Amino acid sequence: MSELSSTGAAFAEFWRERHLCTLTTVRPDSTPHVVPVGVTLDIDNGLALVITDGNSAKARQLRAAGRLNAAACQVDGRRWSTVEGVATLNEDPQAIAEAVSRYAQRYRQPRVNPNRVLIEIAVTNVLGNVS
- This prediction has a pTM of 0.95
Q: Confidence band (pLDDT; 50, 70, 90) for 54? A: very high
pLDDT band at 121 (very low <50, low <70, confident <90, very high): very high
Number of domains making up the chain: 1
Please report the pLDDT score of residue 70 as a whole number: 97
Q: How confident is residue 5, by pLDDT bands cut at 50, 70 and 90?
A: confident
pLDDT band at 6; cut points 50, 70, 90: confident
Q: What is the pLDDT of residues 26-47, one digit of tens each?
A: 999 999 999 999 999 999 999 9
What SS3 class is residue 81? strand
Which domain covers residue 83, as residue numbers? 3-125
Q: Is residue 131 part of a domain?
A: no
Q: Residue 120: pLDDT above 80? A: yes
Answer yes or no: is 21 within a domain. yes
Residue 130 falls inside a structural domain: no
As a whole number of angstroms, the distance between CA 39 and CA 29 comes to 25
Contacts by 77-80, CB closer than 8 A, 24 or more apart: 78/129, 79/14, 79/128, 79/129, 79/130, 79/131, 80/128, 80/129, 80/130
Question: Is the pLDDT reported for residue 75 higher than 80?
Answer: yes
**Predicted local distance difference test score (pLDDT) of residue 41:** 96
- Average the pLDDT over 51-69 and give the result: 96
How much is the pLDDT for 1? Answer: 53
CATH no. for residue 120?
2.30.110.10
The neighbour count for residue 131, using CB atoms within 10 Å, is 9
Taking only the tens place, the pLDDT of each residue in 100-110 is 999 999 999 99
Look at residue 92 and tell me if it is in a domain.
yes
Domain contains 19: yes
